[in-house]
Every structure is written in C-alpha cells, then in structure tokens.
C-alpha cells in the first residue's frame, strides 16, 4: 500500500500519552500539515493556537470538569471526578483550532484537525481530535480563559488536537460500517 494510504488507514485516536514533549521539528511539521488543508474559497478561516503550557491546559481541564459535573449526566459527572481528569488525555501538546462564524469555517477547521492527526500518525506520534473542552470554555469558570488565547476578533475555539508520544500499546483500530451506495 502507498505510504500515504498506510498513514490514513493507521490513524486512530490515542488517549494515553507520555509526558515527554514532542520536538520542535515534529510540531512544525504537524502545524504545516494543518495549514495545508483545503479551505472553502481558500479562505483559511481558522486560527491555530499551540499550547504546551501545562498549567493553562490544567485550567481548561478544571473548567471542563465543572461543565461535565453541572451537566447532571451521571456518566459525565463520573468522568469529571476522575483523578487527573483532562479532556486532552494529559497530552503534552494541544493544538486548538478556532473558527469564525462564516459558513464553511467549521469544515475548514475540521480539515486542519484531520491533517494534523494524520501528520502525527506519519511521525509515529499519538493524537486525538478533541471537542469536549469547548463546554469548559463556555462554563462560568472557563469564560475568562478564552482571553488567554489572544485570538483575532471574530474567532472562537472549536476543536483541538491532543498530540504526544503514545504511552503503552497503540489502541486497536475501530471498525467502520461500509455506509456507501454506488449509483452506476
């Protein structure tokens, strides 16, 4: 199989990371891959924020734990009470992708995230696409944290990609339904 296809077929969400930081070269390759994604009308309606400040990630994690707790959904409340709870699975690097409210910005941001997870896979790093932290940034405990992103006017954090060295065994690939129709 072509190596690009091998990377595509090998990507999976990793939720257990070593605390060791990724290299600057790996980070630059992953960010470049994100910025190489397709965007509607070439608008690049995204803004990337690389966070390696563990204290900042902890603050977002605590706000997310509060949001999960306040959801009153028992399974989410149980997650929020886990020791060392982190919506980023304690990855050493988290790349946040912020969107605008333009029509295709969500798609642009999603494409950047997917490219970054594929780049991480190609570099033998683990990665996980993350959406749950947004609840934390909307929670009263997290609202002020958005300012720390220093985003340009009109952008809000939408997705993130957690990245690091895989701790332990790679999780198995999840199977897919062949949800495909052929009209020939």
Ligand X SMILES: Cc1cc2nc3c(=O)[nH]c(=O)nc-3n(C[C@H](O)[C@H](O)[C@H](O)COP(=O)(O)O)c2cc1C
Among 128, 145, 161, 163, binds ligand X (CB under 6 A): 128
Using the minimum distance from each CB to ligand X, give the nearer residue, 147 or 174.
174
Q: Are 161 and 116 in contact (CB under 8 A)?
A: yes
Tell me the helices (H) and strands (E) count for the chain, helix number first. Answer: 6, 4
Instruction: Give the range of 50-58, 123-131, 135-143, 145-153 binding ligand X by CB under 6 A.
Output: 123-131
The C-alpha atoms of residue 40 and residue 78 are separated, in whole angstroms, by 40
Cβ atoms of 127 and 56 closer than 8 Å = no
Ordered alpha helix ranges (H), 3-132: 3-10, 24-35, 54-70, 74-80, 105-122
Question: Exactly one of 50, 129, 138, 166 binds ligand X (CB under 6 A); which one?
Answer: 129
Cα–Cα dist 155/177, whole Å: 35
CB 121 within 8 A of CB 73: no
Binding of ligand X at residue 138 (CB under 6 A)?
no
With respect to ligand X, which residue has the nearer C-beta, 56 or 129? Answer: 129
The answer to whether 56 contacts ligand X (rule: CB under 6 A) is no
Question: Considering the rule CB under 6 A, would residue 12 count as an interface residue with ligand X?
Answer: yes
Stretch that binds ligand X, among 33-41, 73-81, 101-109, 127-135 (CB under 6 A): 127-135
β-pair partners for 126: 164
Q: How far is the CB of 42 from ligand X (least distance, A)?
A: 23
- Under the criterion CB under 6 A, does residue 13 sit at the interface with ligand X? yes
Q: Is 167 in the site for ligand X (CB under 6 A)?
A: no
Site residues, ligand X (CB under 6 A): 12-13, 15, 87, 128-132, 159, 174
């Amino acid at each position: 199989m072509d190596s690009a296809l091998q990377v595509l077929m090998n990507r999976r969400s990793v939720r257990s990371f070593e605390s060791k930081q990724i290299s600057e070269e790996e980070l630059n390759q992953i960010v470049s891959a994100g910025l190489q994604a397709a965007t509607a009308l070439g608008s690049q309606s995204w803004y990337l924020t690389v966070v390696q400040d563990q204290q900042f990630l902890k603050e977002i994690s605590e706000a997310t734990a509060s949001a999960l707790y306040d959801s009153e959904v028992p399974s989410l409340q149980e997650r929020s009470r886990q020791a060392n709870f982190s919506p980023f699975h304690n990855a050493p690097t988290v790349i946040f992708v912020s969107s605008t409210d333009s029509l295709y910005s969500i798609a642009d941001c999603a494409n950047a995230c997917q490219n970054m997870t594929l780049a991480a896979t190609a570099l033998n790093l683990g990665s996980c696409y993350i959406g749950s932290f947004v609840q934390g940034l909307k929670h009263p405990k997290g609202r002020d944290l958005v300012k720390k992103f220093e985003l340009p006017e009109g952008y809000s954090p939408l997705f993130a990609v957690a990245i690091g060295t895989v701790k332990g065994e790679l999780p198995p690939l999840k199977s897919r339904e062949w949800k495909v129709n052929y009209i020939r």
